[in-house]
């Protein structure tokens, strides 16, 4: 294909038989436009390993254009009435709901996840945009009392942002980034992951329908280098938000520091412990263990990839967990009965398989799974390792796939020590019927989120983010609006009756 031959919108046929119009250009100033060099790249379906379409690639000069658009939109949008911003967000949420089936199918075709998972992602996306709409008039400053001689107050000032989202939850992570931008009066340039750009571009179309002014949100497709690097180091962006690996997060933070010391939020990797105590409700716990590691094909930053089981129920939990894993339907992600679709890319599948070989090489035993599924597509069996040691690579490093390590423990304090023996601190799970034990252990675990008798259980009002190598800052909840604004303090000397200035 010649570069100039690709239209800015193309017809795409999804395996369900649905045909729709897919934007392929860069979304800048509410239009889909060609990049300066008109370079394209293929978008590959993880299900059949074939090209879905091509999209246009943003380079450094295109990032500059998008940043200029975001800066030009800032004065008007940052001072717009909260009701105006809320109207856009409510309308966008309605449009997400109206297009839910299409968006879920795009997500499954592009990412490989099961349609069951994609539908859940789209529902959460609409819910989060609605939640942010309700925050528009509640991003408040404070009145500060320092005595009668001065009036003091603070206000939250919006920012011009750059945002980089991952490939594992393309549309949901887009909402986690764009929701607070639109609510706070900030503007942004958002880069999608190069392997999953399609739903983000389609949302650009819906943003226009929702009434968003031009330049407020600009969405570009491209690679970490050069486009992501250009965002992280751009002198005209005041904040960068990144979701992805810890290794790349460190590079983002360094680039932000070396450019203009822009504000940074990083939602990074994890190696989350999932602790099962002797008094847990075993059947409910098994469901939670499955959701913790095999949901979204294991491609979840907070996946419960280290399962710690107390010795009194170890054999029972292990047997039931094995049975549950082996009953998971893996395959055609458009089949409504499929729970695990494909891994998102061939690169990711190869990485996971290398970890499985490492585990076997270091002496761990595979209880079930461990093999690539036969046929086309990047499919992998749910995999459970036993006989692991705490210093093994599969226990220490983030695999980002449907692979879990099982560790036995005896005492509560031993469980806490095992849980905290990691550089990460994104999430943790606790399964027990003793509320006192649950609170005690949750207080001792170093993690940004602790789920008790549940897992991967999100709500727009509950903040999410990590400790240590799992990142900086928070998504969702009230806390996220502090990430997308700066605090300005104003102090006024008053002239009181009977006094001189």
pLDDT digits (tens, 9 = 90+) for 349-408: 999 999 999 999 999 999 999 999 989 999 999 999 999 999 999 999 999 999 999 999
* Stretch(es) of the chain classified as CATH 3.40.309.10: 273-452
pTM assigned to the model? 0.96
Longest dimension (CA), the chain: 89
Separation of alpha carbons 480 and 484, rounded Å: 7
Q: Classify the phi-psi angles of 92: left when phi > 0, otherwise alpha if psi is within -120 to 50, otherwise beta.
A: alpha
Beta bridge partners, 153, equal: 143, 490
Considering 57, 105, 238, 267, which one is annotated as catalytic? 267
* Stretch(es) of the chain classified as CATH 3.40.605.10: 3-268
Beta bridge partners, 449, equal: 427
Give the H/E segment covering residue 182: helix 170-184
Instruction: Kindly tell me the burial class for residue 71, based on how many C-beta atoms sit within 10 Å of its own C-beta (0-12, 13-18, 19 or more).
Output: middle
pLDDT tens, N- to C-terminus, the chain (501 residues): 455 589 999 999 999 999 999 999 999 999 999 999 999 999 999 999 999 999 999 999 999 999 999 999 999 999 999 999 999 999 999 999 999 999 999 999 999 999 999 999 999 999 999 999 999 999 999 999 999 999 999 999 999 999 999 999 999 999 999 999 999 999 999 999 999 999 999 999 999 999 999 999 999 999 999 999 999 999 999 999 999 999 999 999 999 999 999 999 999 999 999 999 999 999 999 999 999 999 999 999 999 999 999 999 999 999 999 999 999 999 999 999 999 999 999 999 999 999 999 999 999 999 999 999 989 999 999 999 999 999 999 999 999 999 999 999 999 999 999 999 999 999 999 999 999 999 999 999 999 999 999 999 999 999 999 999 999 999 999 999 999 999 999 999 998 887 665
The DSSP output letter for 340 is B
Separation of alpha carbons 118 and 98, rounded Å: 15
**Is 267 a residue of the active site?**
yes
For domain 3-268, give the CATH number: 3.40.605.10
For domain 273-452, give the CATH number: 3.40.309.10
How many CB atoms within 10 Å of residue 466? 27
Name the CA dihedral angle for 333, 339, 345, 348, rounded to a multiple of 10 degrees. Answer: -170
* pLDDT per position as a tens digit, 231-258: 999 999 999 999 999 999 999 999 999 9
DSSP 3-state assignment of 385? strand
Separation of alpha carbons 306 and 438, rounded Å: 18
Using alpha carbons, list the distances in angstroms from residue 399 to 17, 259, 351, 371.
34, 32, 8, 15
């Amino acid at each position: 294909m010649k570069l100039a031959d690709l239209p800015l919108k193309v017809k795409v046929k999804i395996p369900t038989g649905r045909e729709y119009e897919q934007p392929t250009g860069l979304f800048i100033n509410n239009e889909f436009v060609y990049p300066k060099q008109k370079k394209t790249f293929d978008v590959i379906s993880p299900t059949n390993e074939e090209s879905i379409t091509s999209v246009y690639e943003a380079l450094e000069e295109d990032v500059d254009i998008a940043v200029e658009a975001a800066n030009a939109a800032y004065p008007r949008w940052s001072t717009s009435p909260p009701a105006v911003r809320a109207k856009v967000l409510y309308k966008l949420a309605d449009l997400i709901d109206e297009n839910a089936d299409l968006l879920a199918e795009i997500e499954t075709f592009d990412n490989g996840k099961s349609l069951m998972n994609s539908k859940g992602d789209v529902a959460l996306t609409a819910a989060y945009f609605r939640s942010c709409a309700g925050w528009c008039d509640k991003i408040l400053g404070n009145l500060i009392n320092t005595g009668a001689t001065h009036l003091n107050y603070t206000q939250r000032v919006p920012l011009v942002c750059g945002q980089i989202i991952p490939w594992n939850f393309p549309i949901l992570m887009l909402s986690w980034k764009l929701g607070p931008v639109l609510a706070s009066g900030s503007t942004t340039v958002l880069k999608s992951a190069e392997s999953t750009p399609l739903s983000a571009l389609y949302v650009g179309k819906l943003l226009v329908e929702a009434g968003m002014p031009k330049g407020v949100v600009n969405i570009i497709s491209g690679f970490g280098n050069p486009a992501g690097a250009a965002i992280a180091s751009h002198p005209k962006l005041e904040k960068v938000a990144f979701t992805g690996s810890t290794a790349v997060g460190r590079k983002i933070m360094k680039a932000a520091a070396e450019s203009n010391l822009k504000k940074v939020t990083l939602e990074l990797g994890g190696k989350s412990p999932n602790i099962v105590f002797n008094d847990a409700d075993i059947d409910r716990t098994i469901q939670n263990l499955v959701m913790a590691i095999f949901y979204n094909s294991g491609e979840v930053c907070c996946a419960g990839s280290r399962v710690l089981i107390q010795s009194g129920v170890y054999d029972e939990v292990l047997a039931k967990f094995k049975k549950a894993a082996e009953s998971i339907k893996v395959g055609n992600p458009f089949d409504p009965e499929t729970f695990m679709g494909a891994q998102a890319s061939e690169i990711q599948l190869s990485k996971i398989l290398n970890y499985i070989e490492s585990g076997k090489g270091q002496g761990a035993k595979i209880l079930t799974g461990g093999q690539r599924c036969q046929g086309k597509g990047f499919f992998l069996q749910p995999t459970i390792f036993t006989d692991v040691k705490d210093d093994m690579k599969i226990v220490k490093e983030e695999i980002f796939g449907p692979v879990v390590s099982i560790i036995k423990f005896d005492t509560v304090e031993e469980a806490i020590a095992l849980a905290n023996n990691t550089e990460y601190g994104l999430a943790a799970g606790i399964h027990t019927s003793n509320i006192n034990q649950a609170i005690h252990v949750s207080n001792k675990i170093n993690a940004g989120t602790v789920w008790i008798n549940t897992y991967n259980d999100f709500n727009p009002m509950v903040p999410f983010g990590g400790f240590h190598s799992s990142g900086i800052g928070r998504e969702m909840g009230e806390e996220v609006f502090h990430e997308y604004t700066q605090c300005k303090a104003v102090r006024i000397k008053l002239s009181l009756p009977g006094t001189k200035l």
